[in-house]
Amino acid sequence: MVEPLAIVALGLLVVGIVGSVVPLLPGPLVSLAGVLLYWWQSGYAEPGSFLLVALVIVGLVAVVAEYFAGAVSARAGGASTVATLLAAIVGVVLFFVAGPIGIVLGVGGTVFTVEFYRHQDPEQSLRTAIYAAVGMLASTVVQALLTVTMLVAMLLVHFF
């Protein structure tokens, strides 16, 4: 017999993947919740200790990628703290106006504008904006790969 909570846990892992590519949905955290719910419903038996620790670490790496990759990539490209903070605010606002494309354009455009104002150098400003946008997109790919890995591991635990 299939436990209803096991189905809910696996469902959370699927939602976690979706959340990895849909902005403002905490995909990695939902995936972690799915792993921990499955572990709890199994009486702390499945997955085993080693796999549980590995999945939690993978989930935490995905969380870090979700929340910090955009800022880290913007800073790596030379963006100021002000540019990074303004870009985050504009990206969130534009998400509600234009969806995921709004985030990328909002972050890139804001970083470019602030950095151009600071340095009056269009090449440097463009390079910094590209770093920020690429970092955000790369973060999404990393999150998706990590949450898919978590789901596959848990499906193997469940069915084998």
Query: pLDDT tens, 66-79?
Result: 888 877 888 888 89
Locate tokens 């970083």: which residue?
111
Evaluate if pTM is beyond 0.75: yes
Q: CB under 8 Å, gap of 24 or more: what pairs does 29-32 form?
A: 29/59, 29/63, 31/59, 31/62, 31/147, 31/150, 31/151, 32/56, 32/59, 32/60, 32/63, 32/150
Q: Which structural domain range is residue 128 located in?
A: 4-159
The CA dihedral of 15, 20, 26, 32, to the nearest 10 degrees, is 70
Question: What is the domain count for the chain?
Answer: 1
Q: What is the pLDDT of residue 77?
A: 86
Question: Mind listing the pLDDT tens digit for each residue in 127-153?
Answer: 999 998 898 888 889 999 999 999 999
CB 121 within 8 A of CB 113: no
Q: Length of the chain, please? A: 160
Q: Tell me the C-alpha distance between 76 and 8, whole Å.
A: 40
Q: At what angle do helices 122-159 and 27-41 cross, to 10 degrees?
A: 20
